[in-house]
Amino acid sequence: MNKEDYLNLYRKMYLIRLFEESCGENYSKGFIRGFLHLYIGQEAVAVGSIDSLEDKDFIVTHYRDHGHAIARGLSTDGLMAELFGKETGVSKGKGGSMHLFDSDKNFMGGHAIVGAQMPLAAGFALASQYRKDDAVTMVYFGDGATNQGTFHETMNLASVWKLPMIFFLENNFYGMGTSVERIRSNGKSFSNLAEGYGIPSTVVDGMDVIAVKETTKEVVDKVRKGNGPALIEATTFRFQGHSMADPAKYRESSEVDEWRKKDPLESFPEYIISKNIASKDEINDVKKSVEDEMDAAVKFATESNEPDLESLSKDVYL
Amino acid sequence: MAEITLRQALQKGLSEAIENDPDVFIMGEDIGAYGGAYAITSGFLEKYGPDRIKDTPISEAGFIGAGIGSAAAGLKPIVELMSISFSLVGFDQIVNMAANIRYMSGGQINVPMVIRAPTGAGMQLGATHSQSFETWLCEVPGLKVVAPSNPKDALGLLRSSIKDPNPVIFAESAGLYGTKGDVPEEYFDIEIGKADIKQEGTDITLISYGHGMPMINKVSEELSKKNVSSEIIDLRSLSPIDYDLINKSVQKTGRALLLDTARKNGGVMAEVATNINEDSGDYLDGPILRVGSEDVPWPYNRKLEQHAMSSVPKIMNKIEQGYSL
């Protein structure tokens, strides 16, 4: 990794952080409606893991999807416009926060039924295997989704067919307001779930972007070589509530404070500077450019048009 | 023309799709080594190999979803369900993924996929195995739903369903697999959304689909004994429905008898009746008549099951009461 690589990882994490803060602000102002689930705190997971993928690889994710979309390089103009419900949005204002798509970037959603994205992801992996094109599929899900039948059905299917897919568990320790301890039959560990299906698994610190990147790269390489599926569990934390409607009364503020000490937006730039990889000025230059990009995205979203009413019945059938 | 069974028509359509398009593959429970619960894919695994004929675990949500993903990636999967009753286990994938994904992605992602499933009661399989959920799926925009009643329509609709860029539910009446009929040797297909006038007539329009059609034919014979001339329409496509053809016919005859093969409550014919009422109300000589299965869970006992199903006497009775014919 050279300086540009480090700064690029930081840039993407900071872009997600600012994007999410801007979403929160514009939600309060009423420009963004519906359910809004922010990714603040989990930035290192999406950025580190997606950095290890190739353009031909497929990404399928859950409803807390802004971070993955930005990490994949979807335009912040198109993303913010989607949240504003505008016709210039990535899904033409028809998807909203939970249903972000960009098929040109093999970014296949944004899926809002917990766990439902996993069978779909197996299908993308199956298509890659069928065509022998060496692409892999990365499917993201939270700890809550591990209790859905689709998770277990897909692990079995992927294992028995040796599908080139990576099950990427973002364990933020809460399924909405219910902590993992309260609903998991077998303690906190998830690795035993994969073992039962003959799928190798790895646990990584999801607050450490370099660790996530390196672990993912190693796993993706193995999966790409035809060794069958793998599971990565990244331990992480969302600093805010489940959605904008959630005051997060089910957890102690001390728990949040402990995790905030590991905030990758603090620790990673400190690391870059302390190792003399880049200077504080260079970090500030990145910050400035991200802030400019976000200002432009909000302006773009604000000034874009609403979809015309005729578009209501378009895009149902081809 | 060759006389073949509906099963053979499906086998012909599936074989040619596999042979002509490398993106087509079939998957489902017991379709390979076992040869298919209703023997539709018998011999396929040996002929086409395991990449094209994929046996799946008993995981409807899993493999329906995998079919949808592979279709979204550009393949053309044909997913076989052992029964449309089992679609419930994969309903979230069918509705929230297959049907919704195109719209919620702003038109970026298509799902060119066919889900084939046997449907219908009459085989004493009890409540969980005898239902007809193709009617539920007609409510879902983004899906197309077809239900052939004879070998020719089955082949023509299967060809169109596989070619269609949208997800298509292909409901096969399990009781009709052995039905014989003439099928042209030369290529043809049948446009989804087009109903068919199976018999022209002047006094009453009889409308059904799938395994309702043999019953409708018998009703027509009974009516002709009374010098009543029936026009017979086979919907073939339940979503979209060919309202133009239906209304033209009803405006000519002034009477309509609609036969649902599913339970009457919430059946497809409720939609047809409403549409006739709105578009042809002034032409009607009496009320629109509708017959469907009884609104009870399907019983196992043969006598009870037959009593729950529609029948020629039930339909004749309805017509006699409704129109004094």
Question: What tokens does A6 get?
Answer: 């480090």
Q: How far is B264 from chain A (nearest CA, A)?
A: 28
Closest CA to B261 of B224, B298, B316, B222: B298
Q: Is the Cβ–Cβ distance between A235 and A171 less than 8 Å? A: yes
Contacting residues of B for A156, CB less than 8 Å apart: 57, 59, 62
Nearest chain A residue to B165 by CA: give it: A318
Q: Can you tell me the ipTM of this complex?
A: 0.94
Alpha carbons A251 and B167: distance in angstroms, whole number: 44
Query: Which pLDDT belongs to residue A193?
Result: 87
Find where tokens 């449309």 sit.
Answer: B84
The answer to whether the CB atoms of A318 and B97 lie below 8 A apart is no
The answer to whether the CB atoms of A126 and B61 lie below 8 A apart is no
A56, A59, A97, A126: best to mutate for the B interface, most B CBs within 10 A: A126
Nearest by CB to residue A318, choosing from B25, B68, B166, is: B166
Could you report the per-residue pLDDT of B233-250, keeping only the tens digit for each?
A: 999 999 999 999 999 999
Contacting residues of B for A58, CB less than 8 Å apart: 73
The answer to whether the CB atoms of A122 and B62 lie below 8 A apart is yes
- A296, pLDDT greater than 90: yes
Q: How far is CA A60 from its chain centroid? A: 9
Nearest by CB to residue A119, choosing from B51, B69, B107, is: B69
pLDDT band at B1 (very low <50, low <70, confident <90, very high): confident
Q: How far is A145 from chain B (nearest CA, A)?
A: 14
Rg for chain A, CA atoms, rounded: 19
Neighbours of A130 (CB within 10 A): 19
Alpha carbons A201 and A203: distance in angstroms, whole number: 7
- A180, pLDDT greater than 90: no
Could you report the per-residue pLDDT of A217-269, keeping only the tens digit for each?
A: 999 999 999 999 999 999 999 999 888 888 888 999 999 999 999 999 999 99
**A315 shares contact with chain B (CB less than 8 Å):** yes
Alpha carbons B132 and B146: distance in angstroms, whole number: 12
Q: Which of these ranges, A61-65, A185-189, A231-235, B313-317, has the smallest mean pLDDT?
A: A185-189
- A191, pLDDT greater than 90: no
Nearest by CB to residue A95, choosing from B69, B105, B141, is: B105
Strand partners, A232: A168, A202
Alpha carbons B65 and A118: distance in angstroms, whole number: 8
Could you report the per-residue pLDDT of A90-137, keeping only the tens digit for each?
A: 999 999 999 999 999 999 999 999 999 999 999 999 999 999 999 999
Query: Which pLDDT belongs to residue B324?
Result: 86
Show which residues of B are catalytic: 60, 129
B252: left (phi over 0), alpha (psi -120 to 50) or beta: alpha
**A119 shares contact with chain B (CB less than 8 Å):** yes
SS3 A179: strand
Closest CA to A216 of A89, A85, A46: A46
A226: left (phi over 0), alpha (psi -120 to 50) or beta: left
Three-state SS sequence of chain B: CEEEEHHHHHHHHHHHHHHHCCCEEEEECCCCCCCCCCCCCCCHHHHHCCCCEEECCCCHHHHHHHHHHHHHCCCEEEEECCCHHHHHHHHHHHHHHHHCHHHHCCCCCCCCCEEEEEECCCCCCCHHHCCCCHHHHCCCCCCEEECCCCHHHHHHHHHHHHHCCCCEEEEEEHHHCCCEEEECCCCCCCCCCCCEEEECCCCEEEEECHHHHHHHHHHHHHHHHCCCCEEEEECCEEECCCHHHHHHHHHHHCCEEEEEEEECCCCHHHHHHHHHHHHHHHHCCCCCEEEEECCCCCCCCHHHHHHHCCCHHHHHHHHHHHHCC
Residues 179-218 of A with CB under 8 A from B: none
Q: How far is CA A194 from its chain centroid? A: 21
Strand partners, B77: B25
Query: Which pLDDT belongs to residue A185?
Result: 81
Torsion over CA: A121, A123, A126, A131 (sign): negative
Neighbours of B87 (CB within 10 A): 24
**Average pLDDT for B6-13:** 98
Q: How far is A220 from chain B (nearest CA, A)?
A: 20
Could you report the per-residue pLDDT of B191-204, keeping only the tens digit for each?
A: 999 999 999 999 99
Alpha carbons B234 and B207: distance in angstroms, whole number: 6
Cβ-Cβ contacts under 8 Å for B55 (sequence gap 6 or more): B27, B28, B29, B30, B31, B32, B33, B34, B45
Query: Which pLDDT belongs to residue A188?
Result: 61
Question: What tokens does A309 get?
Answer: 């009413």
The answer to whether the CB atoms of B69 and A122 lie below 8 A apart is yes
